[in-house]
Structure 1
Amino acid sequence: MKNVLLKLLLVVLMVNTASAQEWMKNLEVAQALATVQNKMVLMVWEETTTYQYPVIVKDDKGRTVFINNLYEDEQVSPLIWEHFVPVIVSEYRYADLYEKIKESRSQKYLDKFNDDSIKIMDVNGNILNVNYSTEDFQNITTLIERYSLNTAFIAKELQDYREDKNFYSAYFLASKYLDLSMYAKPRTRNDIIELSNIYINETERLISKEEQNEHTALKQRCELLKLQKYLLLKRPKKVIRQLNKIKDDEIVESNKPFMAFLYYAAYMSTGKSEDAEEWKSQISSVNLKKAQKIINLNR
């Protein structure tokens, strides 16, 4: 019953926000709405709305238009709502939100979190556009082109993680983000991979909560997932070098198919089809298709 009422509430919110085009003021509700709409969250600190926030945007004829204030323009607001769920977050939330990330994020990430710029977040509050900066005016069109992700592809993994943060939900979400990055443009791909890395790091921290006898296998699985990241960054030779460092007796049985997948994709990406052939029989048809996608990216 609670789930039905929540869905009804979200429908009402969607109707109201779509008509009024006012930015949301509650981060958690914005995240819930973004989950339903398969969108990213566009977030700013409340203090930035107390002064004019000039931006530029391309109109329907491709001309660059200067907008005096992002928060008051009636043409930009619908455009943002079409691609994101925008939310203004109170400065009172800063301390609590910062406390959750201060020990587990890079300084560059923390700087982005702290500044006055627009932050594109996933529904769990992790920033995607950490590496995106502008010297002059924020380009809304560029933000949309690079970060307006349809998250339907990872919807199940996002939901599982939101409902229960454990090793497996974090791991499968990290893995799915890597899969999603394969379909993105190169610059956006790098940002998605960095976002995935946040979940990989969390996965490693969550190993301690699993059964002790599973720790070795889970740690190795995390290390292998990190290597998949390098395949997507077009560094297959590094993957091969790292895999070769793992001794045969160190490979956990349950991780052998994943290792075979990495070897196959890496060797094929470097044009060594003969070396790749011995691993092919150990790979599922689904992962063979994924490997082919990676191979195509490396050509």
Structure 2
Amino acid sequence: VESGTTDDILTNPQHAYTRKLLSSLPGRGETRAFPPDDTPVLSVENVIVDYHKAGALFRKGQAKRALHGVSVDIRQGEVVALVGGSGSGKTTLGRTIAGLIHQTSGDILFNGKPRERDWAHYRQNCQMVFQDPYSSLDPRMTIVKLVEEALRTMPGLSAAERRRRALATLAEVGLPGEFAERLPHELSGGQRQRVAIARAVVREPKLLIADEPVSALDVTVRAQVLALFADLQKKHGFSCLFISHDLSVVEQIADRVIVMQHGNIVEEGPRDEIFDRPQHAYTQRLLSAIPALDFNETGGVKLKWRLEE
């Protein structure tokens, strides 16, 4: 539909589709202030996670430490982004919070109490959205059954009530009634991620962990899913740990940013503070690797490398 030099296409796009692609690139979102809260929704206190290699005769081998005494607080309604390169420990931390990995030591508190006191309550209120929806959805189940499954252990809901709630949640994420009886392979990647989000929010959790939820999507679908995620977060008020290596996405959606390297937190703070005045050398290196985008009146963008001053 259009071709030209990089500068011409980026700064002065002529075709509507090119302008749509460029307008879908993430930019900085609104700034939200959160007053200090005496009791965060989630408190991670000095959590250590070791992975053990297999040893001889079923004995544990040498341990590799993935998390080195990590502490994190997430307040009510806050979106906290966890960023870092591959192997930094961010996914390990997310899975540990979700209860999929057992910590070697340290405490995880939910509403100020150890989560182990009531695992069933914590499981209901802590849900996870995985990076690859196709592998996290049962290919033999219809879309409505996949969402209903998340309600299976909720007390007091009849089969008819579960179905009504599942259909309402699917409509809320942009998948109305005609999608209900489709199988996952009959959906696009963006639609499958909407199903994964619906499975997570249908239980009305207090905490959502999103592990690279848009990294496999193209730019326009990514923009749609991020807008959907922001709308759901505002409507339901859940807190969120948003795990991502894509700092441009983080800049759009996060209220606070935590930077991890080699299993340690090296810097954390409000999003604008981290992006505009990073203190740690690793944070500066991460930010200097992605451009800032200045949108112009013609629907184009100008690239400017961060921290170039």
Q: TM-score range by the shorter chain?
A: under 0.3
Whichever structure has more strand as a proportion of its residues is 2
**TM-score, normalization: structure 1?**
0.23
Higher relative contact order (CA 8 A, sep 6+): 2
**TM-score, normalization: structure 2?**
0.23
